[in-house]
Amino acid sequence: MKEVQNKNLGEKNGTPASAGVLAVKVDDLTVAYNYKPVLWDIDLEIPEGVLMAIVGPNGAGKSTLIKAILGILKPIAGSVRIYGKPYDSQRSLVAYVPQKGSVDWDFPTTALDVVMMGTYGNLGWIKRPGQNEKKAALEALEKVGMLPFKNRQISQLSGGQQQRIFLARALVQDASIYFMDEPFQGVDATTEIAIINILKELRKAGKTVIVVHHDLQTVPEYFDWVTFLNVKKIATGPVKDIFNDDNLTKTYGINYKVSIQE
């Protein structure tokens, strides 16, 4: 498995994983909006091959953390390493699924075209997508069960279908690390199951998947790692070790009971 994956990665310009290197390492990261810190002194080490939830209350900085790791937001302090190197040189190893609400779904384009956008990163500037990219996009659509909708205008898709399109777009990037910002927001139960199954498959294939997640109930069922975040990092580690009342209370401020762990 490992060998296959490394061979795969070797074709890209990023540096592939090697034993003992963390998939993501965040040091002393502080991000501020208008001089008000929304993330404060975050240290985070994410090992390769985990399926990790980032949980925390509204305004805890969960999306901000992902955006800062991906260089979309400039931190005022701290550094980020992807497999030991700065993000800029490791772009092709990373796929990103923004919040569904962050784009205009009335944009004149089709499902297939949106998925094709996932291939743009490896193409680089100016070069256009060709048959190979189209084939990869169609395969990704197939994986998320959206092939029959490939030519549909994106505003004509339901919320769950739009989220699947976003997932397919990330799959087509064939990355090592996937960042997803609330992929379960506003989707129906069937789609939620379909998405989590794909995420679990990614983990099985040795990929690292990091998900901003809202539903605490499903954390133990879906994820094996979890990070508690509320402006500062509260805790990070395996779900079985740290998903407990203590950390939930520290994160959410109220006396939290994990009545969900049967």
Partner 1 sequence: MSSAQIEIQLIACLVAVACAIPGTFLVLRKMAMISDAISHSILPGIVIGFFITQDLNSPLLILLAAITGVITVTLVEYVQKTGLVKEDTAIGLVFPLLFSIGVILIAKNANDVHLDVDAVLLGELAFAPFDRLFIGGTDVGPKSLWIIGIILIVTIALLIAFFKELKISTFDAGLSASLGFSPMLIHYGLMTVSSVTTVGAFDAVGAILVVALMIAPAAAAYLLTTDLKKLLALAILFGIFSALSGYWFAHWLDASIAGSITTMLGVLFLMVYLFAPSKGLIAVMYREKQQRIEVLLLTFLLHLKNHDEERERHVNHLNEHINWQKIRSKTVLDLALKNNMVSIDNNIVSLTEKGDEFTSKAINYIITNEDAQIEDMKDDFFLFRG
Name the site residues for partner 1 (rule: CB under 8 A): 34, 67, 70-72, 88, 91, 94, 96, 98, 102-104, 107-110, 113-114, 117, 120-121, 123-126, 128-129, 153, 155-156, 158, 160-161, 169, 188, 190
Tokens standing for 23? 């998939």
Give CA angle at 212 (211, 216), nearest 5°.
100
In this complex, which beta carbon is closest to partner 1, that of residue 25 or of residue 169? 169
Q: Which of 215, 217, 237 is nearest to 225 (CA)?
A: 237
- Do 21 and 45 form a contact (C-beta atoms < 8 A)? no
For 216, list phi and psi in degrees, rounded to 5. -65, -30
C-alpha–C-alpha distance, residues 256 and 250, integer Å: 9
Q: Are strands 24-33 and 36-46 parallel, antiparallel or unpaired?
A: antiparallel
Nearer to partner 1, 161 or 247 (CB): 161
Cβ 239 to partner 1 shortest distance, Å: 27
Residue 16: CB atoms within 10 Å = 17
**CA dist., res. 24 & res. 47, Å (int):** 7
